[in-house]
Amino acid sequence: MKPARADRGLGAVGTVGVVCMALFALLPQASETVKVTALHVPSHVAAHSPAHLVCHQDLEGSALYTVKWFKNGREFFRFAPFVVGNPKKYFDTAGVDVDMVLSNQTHLVLRDVSRLTTGRFKCEISGEGPDFKTASESAEMSIVEVPSGPPVISGTVRDRFHVGEEVNINCTSSDSYPAADLVWYINDMQVPRSHLKGPYFEKNVLESLETSILNLSFRVLPHHFQDTGEMSLRCVATLHAVYRQEDVQSFLEEKQPRPPALESRGPNKNRNRENEVDDKHYKHYAESSVLAGAGVSPVITPLRGLSMLMVVVVLVVACLVN
């Protein structure tokens, strides 16, 4: 009977062991012994320039087995330090030209990128066996075609505007992919949307490039001219973080001629009327004096309104009467 009890005890211990092993299997395992601590993949790169990608790792005491780079799920570069003599290997992939000299465990350099290079890039690291634990991170990279020069302001050949005049000009950024973003400024103040028309886009089908045009239209106000009497119009073209150029044109204020002075209707006009009255009184006084000297009665005084010819006639008649 005692052996039977011993068997039952061993069976219980075995059951507990199995349960414990199952529980340990369900617990999160410390499998993250390697990890990618930092991945730098530029979001946008100008075509025909190099691209620099960085993958920093933390192996947490493990030895590195491989670093692999993928584009859209396809491996194109491998760094394996255990391979003696040539730890780097390149796998031919469209749009990917690896600089095998500058690329290493943490850095990947792509030469002369093109729009074919656009895609999702993944860095995958693996520790040594027997576990060969892995970790990875990925990010998108797009290649853009930047314009060959700065934007161009067009639509006017003048260098002066007067207050109240309409300004209507365009800013054009040519041949890029995608089309460049355009922004207008008046004296370093961004123009409100109400003064803009567009942007409009034109496509170069042959080269798959685009041209963007943004129109600026506004009425010139006094505050548009700075203390120097100058108004500055600036157009800035940008393409993500890889391109930024501008064109600036300055215009002087054209002074409008003042209108001719209007006839005065104030005190000056009254003064003129007073002068006219004084002249009439002077003429009346002169006529009265002449008549008095000739013995003419003051009754003649009302003749002050007669012309000098009438005065002469009256004098002649008076002489004949006497």
Q: Please indicate whether the domains covering 35-144 and 152-253 agree at the CATH topology level.
A: yes
Architecture of domain 152-253: Sandwich (2.60)
The residue type at 278: D
Q: Which long-range contacts (CB under 8 A, 24 or more apart) does 111-116 make?
A: 111/50, 112/48, 112/49, 112/50, 113/45, 113/47, 113/48, 113/49, 113/50, 113/51, 113/143, 114/47, 114/48, 114/143, 115/47, 115/143, 115/145, 115/177, 116/143
Instruction: Map out the domains of the chain as residue ranges.
Output: 35-144, 152-253
Over the stretch 162-205, which tens digit does the pLDDT of each residue have? Answer: 999 999 999 999 999 999 999 999 999 999 999 999 999 999 99
Q: To the nearest whole number, what is the mean pLDDT of the chain?
A: 82
The two tokens of residue 142 are 């797009």
Query: What pLDDT, in 10s, does the model give residues 243-252?
Result: 999 999 999 9
More confident residue, 283 or 62: 62
How do residues 7-60 score in pLDDT, each as one tens digit? Answer: 444 454 455 454 445 544 444 444 457 999 999 999 999 999 999 999 999 988
Per the CB < 8 A criterion, the answer to whether 254 and 160 are in contact is: yes
| Cα gap 216→184, rounded to integer Å | 7
pLDDT at 39: 99
pLDDT at residue 212 in the model:
98
pLDDT of residue 210: 98
In tens, the pLDDT along 102-148 reads 999 999 999 999 999 999 999 999 999 888 899 999 999 999 999 99
The answer to whether residue 294 scores a pLDDT higher than 50 is no
Rounded to an integer, the average pLDDT of 217-229 is: 93
Q: Which CATH superfamily is domain 35-144 in?
A: Immunoglobulins (2.60.40.10)
* pLDDT higher at 143 or 299: 143
Q: What is the mean pLDDT of residues 306-319?
A: 61
Query: Is the pLDDT confidence value at 286 over 80?
Result: no
Provide the percentage of residues in the chain whose pLDDT is more than 90.
63
Instruction: Say whether pTM exceeds 0.85.
Output: no
Write down the pLDDT at residue 311. 59
